[in-house]
């Protein structure tokens, strides 16, 4: 934890959450809350891309408590705002100690913390590694990219929205190599089609294969299994995600390719009309590797 400069201002405290590795910004105020500190708090949060913001003050006005409640309502699950009132208590001859009262918090915060703690005890070692990887990756993306990330989970992928339902982008970590069909770790960025129009969407995109690959500047793998609804278009790299020392390398590669996919595929996906496809829709399950 440390002080941090943001333009001409200095944030009181910047640290990391032990729950998910995301940034936490703490702003302290010895008096009652005021508009100046609220503005500074939002300036710091934007400049530092902090996702948990804690405002500590001697007293909160009703207007500032309502402002934090409103911020928790309008922002997505990546951002969390807390308001804490601090008092000094003394019991008998003991030294004074701070007592914190929560004035504002995200609506589902208590349930989220309890669920995370409960689920963590049930995971295998590999699942814990996956969860830790995606938790740190999501925090990395929040600092370095505008791409939205789904909630981290003990699985081999994280999903990212792209302009229409039934299609998504995915960041993938896999112990199995899609290139050599052997146990050889790799990471991938994929465009996935998965709803009842999946095959139609894939066929329409495949018809633009040359243009898409030219815009991306690389060849892609186009995977359309006959026995499954889900189709994937992806790029891959052999990289051992189980080596924590290489996580930053994994994060950087995934981000770069994810942003390229989002930039190139978005206009193509936006124009898709499944009624123009020639291929029938198949019905089967999810086969993400």
pLDDT in tens, 58-113: 999 999 999 998 988 887 666 789 999 988 887 777 788 888 889 888 876 654 55
The answer as to whether 34 is a domain residue is yes
Q: Does 210 share its domain with 170? A: yes
Q: Does 74 share its domain with 160? A: no
Average pLDDT score over residue span 197-221: 96
Q: Does 149 share its domain with 245? A: yes
Q: Does 79 share its domain with 131? A: no
Domain boundary among 76, 95, 115: 115
Contact 166, 193 (CB under 8 A): yes
Q: How far apart are CA 288 and CA 273, in angstroms?
A: 24
Give the max Cα distance, the chain: 83
Residue-level pLDDT at 18 = 60
User: Which tokens is 61 given?
Assistant: 């006005």
Range of the domain at 29: 2-115
Q: Does 154 share its domain with 192? A: yes
Contact 253, 208 (CB under 8 A): no
The answer as to whether 284 is a domain residue is no
Q: Does 229 share its domain with 101? A: no
Beta bridge partners of 11: 4
Q: Does 109 share its domain with 246? A: no
The answer as to whether 179 is a domain residue is yes
Contact 279, 199 (CB under 8 A): yes
Q: How far apart are CA 96 and CA 118, in angstroms?
A: 35
Residue-level pLDDT at 156 = 93
The answer as to whether 242 is a domain residue is yes
DSSP 17-72: -TTT--EEEEEEEEEE--HHHHHHHHHHHHHHT-SEEEEEEEE--HHHHHHHHHHH
Q: Does 132 share its domain with 231? A: yes
Q: Does 15 share its domain with 82? A: yes
How many of the other CB atoms lie within 10 Å of CB of 200? 23
User: Which tokens is 236 given?
Assistant: 């891959």
Mutual orientation of helices 247-270 and 209-216 as an angle, nearest 10°?
140
Q: What is the DSSP letter of 282?
A: P
Domain boundary among 115, 150, 172: 115
Q: Does 134 share its domain with 83? A: no
The answer as to whether 11 is a domain residue is yes
Q: How far apart are CA 13 and CA 27, in angstroms?
A: 7
Q: How confident is the model at residue 277 (pLDDT cuts 50, 70, 90)?
A: confident
Number of domains in the chain: 2
Q: Does 165 share its domain with 257? A: yes
Beta bridge partners of 26: 13, 54
Reported as a single tens digit per residue, the pLDDT across 17-57 is 665 566 788 888 888 999 888 888 887 777 655 578 899 99
Residue with tokens 């995977």: 223
Reported as a single tens digit per residue, the pLDDT across 217-257 is 999 999 999 888 899 999 999 999 999 999 999 999 999 99
Q: Does 128 share its domain with 82? A: no
Domain boundary among 97, 115, 133: 115
Reduced DSSP (H G I as helix, E B as strand, rest coil) percent helix, strand, coil of the chain, to 5: 35, 30, 35
Q: What phi and psi values does residue 210 have, to the nearest 5 degrees?
A: -60, -45
Whether pTM exceeds 0.75: no
């Amino acid at each position: 934890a440390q002080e941090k400069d943001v333009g001409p201002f200095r944030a009181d405290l910047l640290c990391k959450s032990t729950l998910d590795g995301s940034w936490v910004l703490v702003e302290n105020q010895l008096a009652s809350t005021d508009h100046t500190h609220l503005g500074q708090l939002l300036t710091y949060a934007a400049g530092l891309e902090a996702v948990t913001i804690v405002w500590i003050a001697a007293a909160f006005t009703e207007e500032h408590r309502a402002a934090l409640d409103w911020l928790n309502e309008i922002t997505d699950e990546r951002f969390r705002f807390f308001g804490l009132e601090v008092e000094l208590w003394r019991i008998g001859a003991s030294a004074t100690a701070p007592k914190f009262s929560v004035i504002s918090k995200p609506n589902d915060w208590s349930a989220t913390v309890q669920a995370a703690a409960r689920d963590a005890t049930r995971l295998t070692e590999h699942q814990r590694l996956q969860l830790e990887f995606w938790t740190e990756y999501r925090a990395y993306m929040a600092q370095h990219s505008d791409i939205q990330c789904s909630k981290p989970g003990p699985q081999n992928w994280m999903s990212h929205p792209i302009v229409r339902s039934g299609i998504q982008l995915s960041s993938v970590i896999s112990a199995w190599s899609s290139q050599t069909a052997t146990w050889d770790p790799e990471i991938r960025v994929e465009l996935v089609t998965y709803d009842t129009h999946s095959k139609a969407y894939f066929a329409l995109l495949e018809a633009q294969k040359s243009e898409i690959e030219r815009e991306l500047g690389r060849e892609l793998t186009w995977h359309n299994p006959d026995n499954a609804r889900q189709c994937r278009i992806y790029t891959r790299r052999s990289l051992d995600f189980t080596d924590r020392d290489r996580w930053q390398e994994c994060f950087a590669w995934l981000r770069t390719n994810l942003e390229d996919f989002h930039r190139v595929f978005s206009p193509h996906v936006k124009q898709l009309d499944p009624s123009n496809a020639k291929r029938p829709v198949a019905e089967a399950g999810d086969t993400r590797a």
